């Protein structure tokens, strides 16, 4: 098994910064990459804010925060990512983009570098087949937000070897995470169950069965969910919800996975949820207000 000491993270958005955050707190040197230095710097600042929030809540202390931040290094080129022991892709849920990233990274990889994708739905086998090391490729699906959520789904492609799998499990456990092995089927375990529930909640709204407030209240109080499905969709990002539903619909060819037309309409409008200020709730005021 590879002895992982350095981790490269490609993507300084919500997921990439969360992964970098937990790796740095666990003592790994982390190189954070994105398409511009501005995005990388914004990602580092987001990590600092999130660690500060953990300090204020007594989850970590100031010393742990300082040590963690000292383990994070901006990486403006993929050359730096290629020299790490484990390179994790955490880009947008788009198969073409992910394949392009791995192809661009390939010339800079060391012989022993392991590759991982944080994809929440896309075939690990297909992504791995686009690289020069499918046996050293694995899915590491961190839940959002990564610093708080305990689970990491681990997904083997058809070519992933045993040593890569065991290294990935040990790595996730070293971050204080619990692992769940998922077979390489569309959306794996969590999103195979969760995202169709969100899509069904959107159908419930679309068909006029309930309002946004009624649906979310019903699931929070009637099913004891911490967050209603429409609010959760906004938190995940409605573009990501749609992308996962499309992967399920195309990959399993079952009409029960058809994305709700209202979900498609919201994405077409650019109302993607919390990150854009509007989704099933409008977040631009002091308090979120339902948009329907």
Residue 250: CB atoms within 10 Å: 10
Rounded Cα–Cα distance for residues 35 and 175 (Å): 27
- Taken as a whole, the chain contains a residue count of 292
Q: In what order do the strands lie in the sheet with 151-156?
A: 72-74, 29-33, 6-10, 86-89, 114-117, 137-142, 151-156, 178-182
Q: Which of 33, 93, 123, 153 is catalytic?
A: 153
User: What's the confidence (pLDDT) of residue 20?
Assistant: 98
* Cα dihedral 22, 27, 33, 37 sign: positive
Q: Which of 33, 117, 120, 123 is catalytic?
A: 120
Instruction: Decide if 141 is catalytic.
Output: yes
Residue 6's nearest CA partner among 99, 92, 73 is 73
The CATH number fitting domain 193-280, selected from 3.20.20.80, 3.40.50.140, 1.10.1040.10, 1.10.3720.10? 1.10.1040.10
Q: Which of 118, 121, 123, 191 is catalytic?
A: 191
> Which residues in the chain land under pLDDT 70?
1
Q: What is the DSSP letter of 258?
A: P
| Residue tagged 């992964």 (tokens) | 19
User: What's the confidence (pLDDT) of residue 227?
Assistant: 95
Instruction: Decide if 191 is catalytic.
Output: yes
What's the half-sphere exposure (Cβ side, CA atoms, 13 Å) at 66? Answer: 3
Instruction: Decide if 153 is catalytic.
Output: yes
- CB within 8 A of 167, min separation 6: which ones? 1, 2, 4, 114
Q: 75-113: string of b/e by CB count within 10 Å (b at 16+)?
A: beebebbbbbbbbbbbbebebeebbebbeebeebbeeeb
Q: Which of 21, 71, 141, 249 is catalytic?
A: 141
The domain limits of the chain are 6-182, 193-280
Token output for 284: 């631009």
User: What's the confidence (pLDDT) of residue 71?
Assistant: 98
CATH code, residues 6-182: 3.40.50.720
Instruction: Decide if 135 is catalytic.
Output: no
User: What's the confidence (pLDDT) of residue 1?
Assistant: 60
């Amino acid at each position: 098994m590879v002895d992982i000491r350095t981790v490269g993270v490609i993507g300084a958005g919500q997921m990439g910064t969360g992964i970098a955050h937990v790796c740095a707190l666990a003592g790994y040197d982390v190189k954070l990459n994105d398409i511009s230095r501005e995005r990388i710097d914004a990602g580092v600042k987001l990590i600092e804010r999130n660690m500060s929030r953990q300090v204020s809540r007594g989850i970590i202390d100031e010393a742990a925060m300082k040590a963690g931040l000292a383990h994070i290094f901006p990486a403006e080129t993929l050359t730096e990512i290629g020299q790490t022991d484990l390179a994790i892709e955490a880009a947008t849920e788009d198969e073409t983009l992910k394949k392009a990233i791995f192809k661009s990274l390939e010339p800079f990889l060391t012989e022993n570098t392991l590759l991982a994708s944080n994809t929440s739905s896309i075939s690990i086998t297909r992504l791995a087949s686009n690289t020069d090391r499918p046996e050293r490729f694995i899915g590491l699906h961190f839940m959002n937000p990564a610093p708080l959520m305990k689970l990491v789904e681990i997904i083997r492609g058809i070519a992933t070897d045993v040593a890569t799998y065991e290294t990935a499990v040990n790595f996730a456990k070293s971050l204080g995470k619990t692992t769940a092995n998922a077979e390489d089927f569309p959306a794996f375990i969590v999103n195979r169950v969760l995202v169709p529930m969100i899509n069904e909640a959107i159908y419930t709204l679309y068909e006029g069965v309930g309002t946004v407030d009624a649906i979310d209240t019903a699931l929070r109080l009637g099913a004891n969910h911490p967050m209603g499905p429409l609010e959760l969709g906004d938190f995940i990002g409605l573009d990501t919800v749609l992308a996962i539903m499309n992967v399920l619909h195309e990959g399993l060819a079952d009409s029960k996975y058809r994305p709700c037309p209202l979900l498609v309409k919201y994405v077409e409008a650019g109302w993607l949820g919390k990150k854009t200020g509007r989704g099933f709730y409008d977040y631009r005021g002091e308090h979120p207000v339902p948009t329907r």
